[in-house]
Amino acid sequence: MPHELIVGFEAGAVIVLVLLLVPKRGLDHLLKRFSHLRAGRRSWLFEPPSWTYRKPPERVRKSLADAADVFELGVPLYLAGRVAEQRSAQLRVERLSLWQDSPKALLAAHLKGAMTETDLNGRLNSRELPLSAAKARVARVEARPLISVKWWLERQALAHTIARSNGDGAAEPVGGGSEADDEEAQDDSDGEAGSSAAADPGHLRIRTFGRLELLQASQDHGPALMAKKVLAFIWLYLFVRALLEPDGRVKRIVFAEEVSPGLSPTKQNKRLRNRIDDMLKRDLPTALSSRLVVNRNEIGLDLSNSSIDMVRLQEVARLCTDKHGMLTGDLIAEAHRILDETEGEFLPGWDQIETETNGGRGAAHEYVRSLRELAETARIDLMGALASNHMARQQPRKAIPLLEQALERQPDREDLARKLLAAYLESGQPARAAELQKDHALDV
Amino acid sequence: MGSRTMRTIRLSIAVALGIVVVITTALLSIRVPLLDDGLAFAWLPAVVLSLLLIGAAVTIEFAFPRPMSLSADAAVPEPVVPQPMVPQCRRKPAIISVHGLEGQAGCTSIAFNLAVEVATVGLADGRRPRPVCVLRSGALTSTVGLDPRPFTDYCRSHLATVGEDVIELAERHPSGCEVLCISDGALDGHRLRLLVSALRQFYDLILIDCPPGDRWLTDSAFDASEVSLLIGLSTAESARAAVPWSDTSWQYGLDSRFALVVNRVSAGTEIPGLLAAAFANVALIPEDVSRGNALELPWVLRPESRAGGAITEIARRLVPDLAAKDETHAA
């Protein structure tokens, strides 16, 4: 055999190796492509296999097409790409299996005519998913008949007669202020409920602003809970979910992922089971562990027979804002008291607990953030309602500091800006009103 | 020239180049003894390594056979779509204006899909949000059977007022979002301001689809909204149209309120440099393969739609307070 031919074979072997190693195409955005594959955001590293464009070919042609793909990419890149594509395919299959139960899939089935709207709502209900928003409607204001002057005069006369017969100097209206009476009655009942709750040894009083206080039978279990970060995370996470949703139950799978993100589902479940056992059997005081509701699929917190400052804040804010103006004395006192009590941050130690438990990788901070925003909005609503009360009583100067403070916290609240504008004008401060109007671009 | 032809040419050139190198090396080896010695030493390891590489490729081919495509989208080359960068709307209600940089850029479809996405999987205070779209009549609105006449007549008969009763004219989509459809030219800047102040009492998200060319309406929509999305295609026309927007936004320091959305991006598309550089916030929406089908669902309701996936990502960043928080909802 001639020497050149032998050398040719030897060189051929080396060149084949080089051709098998080196990609023979542009490699733009290679890292981004791999990262998108890992996240399941794309299916293929570059193009789909050439045989996917038409119906599946016979085996030999498919193998030849695959061989061409291998040759084009070079074996190392081809292998890496195939592994990443496999991972991406798994992720997409998992997402597709989740999709089947998602609201989008149900809505798509409804739009395709596979189910009626009633069926759709039934299925959403059975999966405990919220229903789609109903059509917006304008609230119809019913015309109320005017009170006749004759009736009013008779009522006044009757009131005077009753007052005289009781021996009172001042005439109290008979039916007037019935709303205020209801309010006071309600406040009284709240007070009674509060005192009976204090007497009940099983009652749990939860303070969340500024510091965590879990008071039962005059004993604060907050410090004991906060000392154990993982258990505190679990208890407070369930507490937060219970505040956000009426049912407040969390699926165990979802919760296990929240507690130990990144582990395999088996390890996550085992870890969660151990933690819950610890909580129930020894690590938590009975006052807290007895509140846990654990079953095979779900876990939650029972907040019955408890009083929570966050809930009270929202209730008082709602009560006051519903009045749209003048408030009763008791309600004003209660509003000031709740504003003082909720001065601090909601669950102040939460960020540290979350970081130490799951490195802040879960969705829990979103829930806490939502509650902090809700609390902030409720406080500002409350300030707005107190300011409205002052305005209704012709005391604009008392309303101004409240509104300024509220507007400083939420500068985008146009309703507060309008109230403040009115307060400035009524208190004879047109320059400040003009300045505010300019800052907030208010139409007059 | 097609991509498959280009690929054949590339591979042929590589093989031809390999053959040329082999022949040249064979001829040179007589004059360069070092080359001869090197090849004699290297050929055996090269053969072994080549066989190993081929073996690995064959093994992975058998171990992980490639799946058949699940949809028409999957059989088409995918563009590289980075994570979208869009401003966040934190106000309640969120108001977003959508402006087309050229005709048929897809702003109506994008506005509608954003609304459907938020209405279907979003959450606001534990309930589904109620978005509203003010859409121009066109192909999409006639596909979903929306009649522009009621709202158009309302606008023409109410020259200087828009009352709360206007919401009765909005059509409810089964997703929960509502649509006010209007003919081109019936809405002006003044009416839009009045309309927005009426709508904000009832809806969690307001999307305004603005036609290109009406300066007054465009300015009013921009003033009323918190974020403006500019929808363009990867064409020179969109790039030219983006320049005045970009100049104005930088001049007044409003660039953080704008996001450029390039629609119908495909694997072979080159985005003009001017368009890519015009805004700091850019999002890409891939070409939707089955967009021509009039009876198709909104993109966001099709699990394999790349355009739908991109819009879902945009919605999560655009309205974080309303968009889905739970992964199972977002699936």
Give the pLDDT of chain A (444 residues) as one tens digit per residue.
Answer: 677 788 889 899 999 999 999 998 888 888 889 988 888 888 888 877 766 555 555 677 777 778 888 888 899 999 999 889 888 888 888 888 888 888 899 998 888 888 888 888 888 888 888 888 988 888 766 555 555 666 667 776 777 777 776 665 444 443 444 444 444 444 444 444 444 555 577 788 888 888 888 888 888 888 888 888 888 888 888 888 888 887 778 888 888 888 887 777 788 888 888 888 877 777 778 888 888 888 888 888 888 888 888 888 888 888 888 877 788 888 888 888 888 888 888 888 888 888 888 777 777 888 888 888 888 889 899 889 998 888 888 888 888 888 888 888 888 888 888 888 888 888 888 888 888 877 776 655
Tokens describing residue A99: 């999709």
- Residue B285 is inside which H or E element, if any? strand B282-286
**Pairing mode of beta strands B227-233, B258-265:** parallel
Mutate to test the interface with B, among A4, A14, A36, A79 (most CBs of B within 10 A): A14
B1 touches chain A (CB under 8 A): no
Contact residues on chain A for B57, CB-CB shorter than 8 A: 70, 75, 78-79
The one-character DSSP state at B68 is P
Residue A253 has a pLDDT of 80
Give the closest-approach CA distance of B251 to chain A in angstroms: 21
Taking CA–CA distances from B298, the nearest residue in chain A reads A108
Question: Residue B79 pLDDT > 60, yes or no?
Answer: yes
The one-character DSSP state at B256 is G
Pairs across A and B, CB distance < 8 A: 213
Residue A193 has a pLDDT of 46
Give the closest-approach CA distance of A442 to chain B in angstroms: 12
Question: Residue B81 pLDDT > 80, yes or no?
Answer: yes
- Ordered by start, the domain boundaries in chain B are 3-63, 75-330
B28 contacts: CB under 8 Å, gap ≥ 6:
B35
Taking CA–CA distances from A7, the nearest residue in chain B reads B26
Distance CA B65, CA B59 (A): 10
pLDDT band at B312 (very low <50, low <70, confident <90, very high): very high
Query: Of B66, B128, B301, which has the smallest distance from its Cβ to A133's Cβ?
Result: B128
Query: Of B27, B44, B129, which has the smallest distance from its Cβ to A133's Cβ?
Result: B129
Give the closest-approach CA distance of A102 to chain B in angstroms: 6
Residue A189 has a pLDDT of 45
Q: How far is CA B2 from each of CA A73, B16, B61, rounded to the nearest angstrom?
A: 19, 21, 27
Pair (A235, A369) in one structural domain: yes
pLDDT band at B331 (very low <50, low <70, confident <90, very high): very low
HEC assignment per residue over chain A? CCHHHHHHHHHHHHHHHHHHHCCCCCCCCHHHHHHHHHCCCCCCCCCCCHHHHCCCCCHHHHHHHHHHHHHHHCHHHHHHHHHHHHHHHHHHHHHHHHHCCCHHHHHHHHHCCCCCHHHHHHHHHHCCCCCCCCCCCCCCCCCCCCCCHHHHHHHHHHHHHHHHHHCCCCCCCCCCCHHHHHHHHHHHHHHHHHHHHHHCCCCEEEECECCCEEEECCEECHHHHHHCHHHHHHHHHHHHHHHHCCCCCEEHHHHHHHHCCCCCHHHHHHHHHHHHHHHHHHHCCHHHHCCEEECCCEEEECCCCEEEHHHHHHHHHHHHHHHCCCCCHHHHHHHHHHHHHCCCCECCCHHHHHHHHHCCCCCHHHHHHHHHHHHHHHHHHHHHHHHHHHHHCCCHHHHHHHHHHHHHHCCCCHHHHHHHHHHHHHCCCHHHHHHHHHHHCCCC
Query: Of B53, B54, B165, which has the smallest distance from its Cβ to A138's Cβ?
Result: B165
Q: Residue B171's beta-bridge partner residues? A: B179
Residue B311 has a pLDDT of 93
Amino acid letter for position B287: E
B161 contacts: CB under 8 Å, gap ≥ 6:
B194
A27 touches chain B (CB under 8 A): no
Q: Do A4 and B82 touch (CB under 8 A)?
A: no
Establish if A282 belongs to a structural domain.
Answer: yes
B25 touches chain A (CB under 8 A): yes
Question: Residue B48 pLDDT > 90, yes or no?
Answer: yes
Residue B231 has a pLDDT of 93
The percent of residues above 90 in pLDDT, for chain B, comes to 31
Task: Assign domain B75-330 one CATH number from 3.40.250.10, 3.30.70.100, 3.30.30.10, 3.40.50.300.
Answer: 3.40.50.300
Query: Of B170, B174, B303, which has the smallest distance from its Cβ to A132's Cβ?
Result: B174
Task: Answer whether the bond into residue A348 is a cis peptide, omega within 30°.
Answer: no
Distance CA B244, CA B256 (A): 16
Q: Do A108 and B81 touch (CB under 8 A)?
A: no
Taking CA–CA distances from A43, the nearest residue in chain B reads B74
pLDDT digits (tens, 9 = 90+) for B94-126: 999 999 988 888 889 999 999 999 999 898 888
Residue A256 has a pLDDT of 83
Question: Residue B326 pLDDT > 60, yes or no?
Answer: no
Q: Kindly report which listed range (A108-112, B8-12, B251-255) carries the lowest average pLDDT score.
A: B251-255
Q: Do A135 and B178 touch (CB under 8 A)?
A: yes
Establish if A401 belongs to a structural domain.
Answer: no
**Range B275-301 average pLDDT:** 78
Mutate to test the interface with B, among A94, A102, A104 (most CBs of B within 10 A): A104
Residue A79 or residue B71, greater confidence = A79
Residue A166 has a pLDDT of 65
Q: Do B61 and A71 touch (CB under 8 A)?
A: no
Q: Is B132 helix (H, G, I), strand (E, B) or coil?
A: strand
Residue A175 has a pLDDT of 40
Q: How far is CA B64 from each of CA A8, A44, A84, A90, B59, rounded to the nearest angstrom?
A: 36, 14, 11, 12, 8
Residue B285 has a pLDDT of 92
A13 touches chain B (CB under 8 A): yes
Residue B331 or residue A26, greater confidence = A26
pTM: 0.59
Establish if A430 belongs to a structural domain.
Answer: no
- Chain A, 46 to 75: residues with Cβ < 8 Å from chain B are 46-50, 52-53, 56, 63, 66, 68, 70-72, 75
Q: Tokens 């059997």 identify what position?
A: A281
Considering its fold, how many domains does chain A have in total?
2
The one-character DSSP state at B75 is G
Q: Do A136 and B329 touch (CB under 8 A)?
A: no
Establish if A166 belongs to a structural domain.
Answer: no
Range of the domain at A288: 204-393
pLDDT band at B71 (very low <50, low <70, confident <90, very high): low
Residue A182 has a pLDDT of 46
Taking CA–CA distances from A79, the nearest residue in chain B reads B57
Contact residues on chain A for B77, CB-CB shorter than 8 A: 44, 46-48
Query: Of B22, B66, B67, which has the smallest distance from its Cβ to A8's Cβ?
Result: B22
Distance CA A386, CA A372 (A): 21
Residue B314 has a pLDDT of 93
Query: Of A18, A102, A117, which has the smallest distance from its Cβ to B329's Cβ?
Result: A102
- Chain B, 278 to 297: residues with Cβ < 8 Å from chain A are 297
Q: Do A82 and B3 touch (CB under 8 A)?
A: no
Residue A51 has a pLDDT of 60
